[in-house]
Structure 1
């Protein structure tokens, strides 16, 4: 069920096939008073089409790892590759969803989605067709002309997800996208996210503090240590790709995964 990451080694075949390849990465920052190591000896391969969640204590470098993949940060040591290409700067072939939807208040849901097309200079007809597909896929039909203040938090996050997927990225990075939502809305969006992932075939790397969310959505869960963050263990989630929410929660394999994550993170993580 699990794969300890005590001595990661580079596999050339896995690297060639990986959507995301992280090899012996460390990140160190210098402050006025001291040097801070955010990540230490992190190695990870995410195959094309896989859904991987990253969990760990606050401040362990989960978001830092996403920023490395996106090219928003450079590793102090080690290498990051995206679909075989070394990441040397900001990548424009990914999608990124943050905890806050960050919608423009004066633009409708549809026009917020199409902002991506304007920034990327996508052909307008193609962008409108893609936006219509995503609006249908995410259950936003009937709300496409609403302004952000007229939408619930869950609806706003659906708009943000559509915006991130508009250009059909092969890799989607998600940094606590459902963390600020109420429990019921979060469950509903987990179900929607599972369906969207299956329909699009997008590789997803999700940072979350929710153990249940990580186990429900993922093929594998990466469990990180306290700072300096490193990978303690990678846990396989042996569940079918299509997952109903309550029946999945009741499965023994789901319980085994969540229990193992809690064991690795400590008793303080058992609240979620």
Structure 2
């Protein structure tokens, strides 16, 4: 099931993200630290790719490279056919914490993105209403963060990230702080929203079941310095019922292979 760096792209679709022979090294007071080494990955337009690996292997670093928040020490990163040379405005980014402004309602937290981007007011309001309905926040648009559950706060953060219709959505452990039941519900919602928006998604997660349920492919990273250990193609239907998916032999094979690669005896939930 291993994939070479030249075989990581889906050849029948346009490539949105290209990472070619990338290395990232940091210098500390005492030594140089290699975070990533010889990483190559291509992500097709509209594809959902999950990234798993041991703590400290450079998963979040990969997202920072794609967003332009970090420059590679060597190698090349391209987004939508252009070299990434600095922070990109044409992406969405969702972090583990919702990072909502406590003094703004859910709607006004979403519209913060519009204010920063100077989007036309009418267009922003229409898009906000569309996303509120899509994410099941109708009736809570005027609630403040302290009045929302953790799952609802993350839905607001997701709406904010999707407001400008980014072609690429980066997600760094977005559900890691949620309880198991809420996380399951958010997985189902995210899968549905991805199907409706056709946005290219790169998701970093420590949960093997989450990665397999959500993604078309799963990138398994090696310990630091991180590189692509193996690329797992998820052989599951596009329409995925959560319960049936968890019981599917294809799901068991994929999660089992990832656990073998990571040396994990139990679920990484």
Note if 1:96 corresponds to 2:70. Answer: no
Range with greater deviation from structure 2 (143-152 or 240-249): 240-249
**C-alpha distance in 2 between matches for 1:234 and 1:257:** 11
1:130 is aligned to 127
**C-alpha distance in 2 between matches for 1:271 and 1:43:** 25
Extract unaligned runs of 5+ from structure 1.
none
Note if 1:195 corresponds to 2:184. Answer: no
User: For residues 222-244 of structure 1, what are the alpha-carbon distances to aligned partners after superposition, in whole Å with 9 as ceiling and x for unaligned?
Assistant: 00000000000000001111211
2:240 is aligned to 243
Note if 1:143 corresponds to 2:140. Answer: yes
> What is the aligned-residue RMSD (CA, Å)?
1.7
Q: TM-score, normalised by structure 1?
A: 0.96
2:218 is aligned to 221
Work out whether residues 107 and 147 of structure 1, in 8 Å CA contact, stay in contact via their aligned partners in 2. Answer: yes
Note if 1:233 corresponds to 2:230. Answer: yes
User: For residues 132-186 of structure 1, what are the alpha-carbon distances to aligned partners after superposition, in whole Å with 9 as ceiling and x for unaligned?
Assistant: 0000000000000000000000000000000000000000000000000000000
Q: 1:18 aligns with which of 15, 29, 35?
A: 15
**C-alpha distance in 1 between matches for 2:196 and 2:138:** 18
**C-alpha distance in 1 between matches for 2:268 and 2:125:** 43
Q: 1:185 to 1:16 in 2, by over 3 A?
A: closer
Say which SS state the counterpart of residue 132 (structure 1) adopts: helix
Work out whether residues 15 and 45 of structure 1, in 8 Å CA contact, stay in contact via their aligned partners in 2. Answer: no
Work out whether residues 70 and 91 of structure 1, in 8 Å CA contact, stay in contact via their aligned partners in 2. Answer: yes
Give 1:13 shift: 9.4
Extract unaligned runs of 5+ from structure 2.
none
1:4 is aligned to 3
Say which SS state the counterpart of residue 204 (structure 1) adopts: strand
Work out whether residues 15 and 84 of structure 1, in 8 Å CA contact, stay in contact via their aligned partners in 2. Answer: no
Give 1:16 shift: 9.1
Superposed counterparts of 1:4-153, under 5 Å: 4-5=3-4, 8-9=5-6, 17-153=14-150
**C-alpha distance in 1 between matches for 2:12 and 2:115:** 34
**C-alpha distance in 2 between matches for 1:242 and 1:55:** 23
Segments ≥4 residues shifted beyond 6 Å: 10-13
User: For residues 30-55 of structure 1, what are the alpha-carbon distances to aligned partners after superposition, in whole Å with 9 as ceiling and x for unaligned?
Assistant: 00000000000000000000000000
